[in-house]
Amino acid sequence: MICILPRQSLVCLGFFVSEGFKLNLLKFTTIEPFSLSGVGIHTGRAITARIEPCDTDSGICFWREDINEQNNKIEANIKNTVNAKLCTRIENSDGVGINTIEHFMSALFAIGIDNANIYVDGPEMPILDGSSEHIVKALVKAGRREQKYPVSFLRILKEVSIIGENGAWARIIPSSNLELSLHIDFPDPGIGQQKIDYSFSTSSYVKHIAPARTFCMLRDVENMHHAGLAKGGTLENAVVVDNGKILNKGGLRMADECARHKALDCMGDLFLTGMRIFGKVEAFRPGHALTLKLLNTLMADKSSYVFKTVSDDVTPARGFVNLPKAVAAISA
């Protein structure tokens, strides 16, 4: 089990939380545009994603540059999610969609980018090395620009719970920060049962969560191939486990890398609300479908949460942790 809990205070995406005292940052976009290229893990196609700054309060928007005759703008919003099993997919009203957005959404959340346009030349995001580490480094290098618009957040007021398939369950309860308590359970002994208890901070995400890669069991690869999926999956972009053995050269990056990656995915899916969440997510056998079902159930019960914007008379926090230093720590 991994337990990553900052001690007395923590930086939470522009909120400095210490014994209930909160200071906010304003919203941010990137300073410089940048591109990331790689293979699409399910299509096997070469994909390039270009991230550019955008106007205040635009949110995160994906643009399918390979689509010309239909609306090619897809807003990253919980209302636009569909078919979330092996990845997170969003679609617009014309049925134009984009797959595998979760790692990019997770990195944007962690680094504190509220508004960005992401232009993609294919039907899914590049998987890169299967983690969000390269995205984090690129975002830090591109820099952040303050947009003079206060950050909103969603505070959980009461428990909301759901039941998923095969014994899976999840709930979200009130908390003074975003916290995750995730318990994974896989039949292959190379993964087995792992638990992560995590309280979000940018620095801990960069060091402990971003490097964690997506994973699968070898027995599932053939089934995915028959379903037309994982055509671009290799040992260079996913951890593959077979009967207790890690097939990747060099093995795991951390003993509980699989549990940490589930936390990475979960934060990316949670950011489809478009704001920071003050609440604790607890889940058994978590996955995209379970997290999105929990979010939809939460948003349908308006008595379970409240939207907040810190007023202008509150002194803004000075900023995040030293992100370049934190990123450098990954490679140390």
Residue 225's pLDDT is: 82
Q: Rounded to whole angstroms, what are the CA distances from 57 to 92, 122, 146, 275, 310?
A: 19, 26, 12, 11, 16
Least confident of 16-30, 125-139, 256-270: 16-30
Rounded to 10 deg, the angle between the 257-270 and 102-111 helix axes is 80
Q: Which residue has the higher pLDDT, 74 or 8?
A: 74
pLDDT-derived band at 285 (thresholds 50, 70, 90) equals: very high
- 144-155 pLDDT tens trace: 999 988 888 999
pLDDT at residue 310 in the model: 59
Q: Does residue 331 register a pLDDT over 90?
A: no
More confident residue, 149 or 164: 164
Residue 20 clears pLDDT 70, i.e. is over it:
no
* pLDDT at 21 > cutoff 60: no
Q: Which of 174-188, 242-256, 289-303, 308-322 has the lowest mean pLDDT?
A: 308-322
The set of residues, in sequence order, having a beta carbon less than 8 Å from that of 332 and lying 6+ positions away, is none
Helix (H) or strand (E) holding 164: none
Q: What pLDDT score does 136 carry?
A: 97
Please tell me the distance from the alpha carbon of residue 150 to that of residue 26, in angstroms, as a whole number: 4
Give every CB contact of residue 153 below 8 A, 6+ residues apart in sequence.
Answer: 15, 275, 276, 277, 278, 307, 308, 309
Place of tokens 């039949």: 187
Strand order in the sheet with 9-12: 9-12, 15-18, 21-23
The confidence score (pLDDT) of residue 309 equals 79
Query: What pLDDT shows up at residue 61?
Result: 98
Is the pLDDT at 330 greater than 60, yes or no? Answer: no
Q: So what's the pLDDT on residue 28?
A: 93
pLDDT at position 32 is 96
Give the mean pLDDT of the chain. 87
- Name the residues annotated as catalytic: 288
The average pLDDT across 307-330 equals 48
How far apart (Å, rounded) are the C-alpha atoms in residues 31 and 142?
6
pLDDT of residue 68: 92
pLDDT of residue 4: 54
CATH number of 24-320: 3.30.1700.10
What is the rounded CA–CA span in Å between residue 272 and residue 289?
A: 13
- Per the document, the length of the chain is 332
pLDDT value at position 320? 38
The pLDDT, as a whole number, for residue 226 is 81
- Residue ranges of the domains in the chain? 24-320
| pLDDT at res. 16 | 35
Mean pLDDT of 182-192: 96
Residue 148: per-residue pLDDT = 85
Residue 26 pLDDT: 86
